[in-house]
Amino acid sequence: MEVVQCFSLPIGYQWWNMQTKITQRTLGQLDATGNRFFVWDTSLTGFGIEVSAKGKATYVCETRIKGTRKKVRKQIGLVDLLPLDDARQEARSLLFKASKGLDIRFEFDQLEERPLTIGKAVDDYISAKRNKLILPL
């Protein structure tokens, strides 16, 4: 009978942060391990795949925002639904926005339209409430 010596990994050893060039073959080899882990791309810094404990894979983009020290991570989309080239292109645009100092976690394209004057805002409010407050007799 052979005796196998067991040892524990040192604290801080991150075997779940793997670095490789992400290709279609890499996507096909992702399996559930029981722990969450990341696969980071070597060709595009900040682009990677997050694999959950149950095996659900999601494209992610992680970077520091210009002017801050805090790292931010944003999920781009599911590996099953989004092609690799589209995810890479989206990651490039997010990294570019972060280099300009914009927080990539929030959407800046969806700005709320504001009224031009306070009087116009009051008129809009009254007309909206008037329609709701009319009671049938």
Tokens of 69: 């020290």
What is the percentage of the chain residues whose pLDDT exceeds 90?
Answer: 33
The residues near 47 (Cβ < 8 Å, ≥ 6 apart) are 22, 40, 41, 59, 60, 61, 87, 88, 91, 95
In a domain, 9, yes or no: no
| Token pair 């926005």: residue | 97
Q: What is the predicted pLDDT for the residue at 135?
A: 55
Residue 2 falls inside a structural domain = no
Q: Would residue 8 count as lying in a domain?
A: no
Q: What percent of the chain has pLDDT over 70?
A: 77
- Domains in the chain: how many in total? 1
Does the residue 12 lie in any domain? no
Contact at 8 Å (CB) between 92 and 41? no
Residue 10 placed within a domain: no
50 in any annotated domain: yes
35-44, 85-94, 125-134: the lowest-pLDDT one: 125-134
The answer to whether 103 and 61 are in contact (CB under 8 A) is: no
What pLDDT, on a 0 to 100 scale, did the predictor assign at position 26?
A: 87
Q: What are phi and psi of 17, to 5 degrees?
A: -105, 85
Which amino acid appears at position 97 of this protein? K
Q: Does the residue 125 lie in any domain?
A: yes
Mean pLDDT of the chain: 80
What's the CATH number where 62 sits?
3.30.160.390
Q: What is the pTM (predicted TM-score) of this model?
A: 0.66
| Predicted pLDDT at 80 | 92
As a whole number, mean pLDDT of residues 44-66 equals: 91
C-alpha span between 45 and 40 (Å, rounded): 8
Strand partners, 51: 37, 57
Residue 28 has pLDDT above 70, yes or no: yes
Going by pLDDT thresholds of 50, 70 and 90, the confidence category of residue 133 is: low
The residue segments making up the domain with residue 81 are 17-133
pLDDT digits (tens, 9 = 90+) for 65-123: 887 888 899 999 999 999 999 999 999 999 998 888 888 887 765 555 665 788 888 88
Q: Does some domain include residue 112?
A: yes
Distance CA 90, CA 44 (A): 12
